[in-house]
Amino acid sequence: MAEQRDDERRTADVQRRTADVRGSAVDARGSAAGAGEPRRGTARREVARAWDDLVTTARRTVSDGLVVGTSGNVSVRVGDTVLVTPSGVPYDRLTPDDVTGVDLDGRQVLGTLVPTSELPMHLAVYRTTGALAVVHTHAVHATAVSTLVTELPLIHYMAAALGGPVRVAPYATYGSDELAENMLHALTGRSGCLLQNHGTLTHGSTLAQAYDRTAQLEWMCRLWLTASSLPGLTPSLLSREQLTEVEERLRGYGQRG
Ligand SMILES: [Zn+2]
């Protein structure tokens, strides 16, 4: 009950703040059309499109089995605004009117729904990298691996697509700045990491890329768990040299493509 009252208070706070900034911020619902067009109209359309993309990606994490219920979250950056999935709203119920956005300091500038409690992790990524999209899940195989090792063993060369061997960020309470800090450290030189006893986080230059990295990471974790599950047998692993060769090849492929 106390939690619910807390939520309501936060929502009221957010509504007040949103009312304060209305007019100066981009209104994705187009209710403030007028002066400043067409630049603001273009920005509104960009936000609406990004929100549509975000909702599609969030729903995909559920339909692909990477997320159960609302236990993950997705964000995308449009200029200095970060659109995020709101806290506790099933993704199939999100509509174009539910656009939820914050600035890089976490101040709500769009919408009235409460942003995801994992906001500190998302913002930490945008403040320190050039990423434009972040996907966070509690995918089962990846989360299982996060409880067993401090780095995902090099079971497959697709680790190169994430920038190298995937590290596990030490556990800290969800939504905390400490978790965001541990995550940033684990992400150094990588586009994805595991969060100990918690889940995954990947970023990319598009939602599709961030999503694909999550799917690849979950798949690699499942692969390692599967290969490790036969008593008396240990899977062979790749060397760093073998992975470096793949990284070089992937870079070359990118240039030709
Ligand atoms: Zn989480």
Distance 235 CA to ligand 1 centre (A): 30
Distance, CA of 121 to CA of 174 (rounded, Å):
9
Going from the C-alpha of 213 to that of each of 94, 176, 193, 202, the distances in angstroms are 24, 24, 10, 6
Model confidence pLDDT, tens digit, residues 105-117: 999 999 999 999 9
Distance 62 CA to ligand 1 centre (A): 14
Backbone phi and psi for residue 192, each to the nearest 5 degrees, phi listed first: -160, 155
Distance, CA of 229 to CA of 5 (rounded, Å):
46
Reported pTM: 0.84
* Mean per-residue pLDDT, 193-221: 98
**More confidently predicted of 37 and 177:** 177
| Residue 11: alpha-carbon gap to chain centroid | 23
- The fold for domain 50-256 equals L-fuculose-1-phosphate Aldolase (3.40.225)
User: Per-residue b/e over 134-157, b at no fewer than 16 CB within 10 Å?
Assistant: bbbbbbbbbbebbeeeeebbbbbb
Distance 200 CA to ligand 1 centre (A): 8
Of all residues in the chain, what percent carry a pLDDT higher than 90? 77
Distance, CA of 79 to CA of 47 (rounded, Å):
9
Q: Reduce the DSSP state of residue 255 to 3 states and report it.
A: helix
CB atoms within 10 A of CB 241: 7
Res 42: pLDDT: 84
Model confidence pLDDT, tens digit, residues 5-47: 444 444 444 444 443 333 334 444 444 444 455 677 888 999 9
* Mean per-residue pLDDT, 113-139: 97
What residue ranges do the domains of the chain occupy? 50-256
Reply yes or no on whether the pLDDT at 84 is more than 90: yes
**More confidently predicted of 2 and 90:** 90
Distance 194 CA to ligand 1 centre (A): 11
Q: Which residues are catalytic?
A: 118
Distance 229 CA to ligand 1 centre (A): 26
Q: What is the mean pLDDT of the chain?
A: 87
Distance 23 CA to ligand 1 centre (A): 33
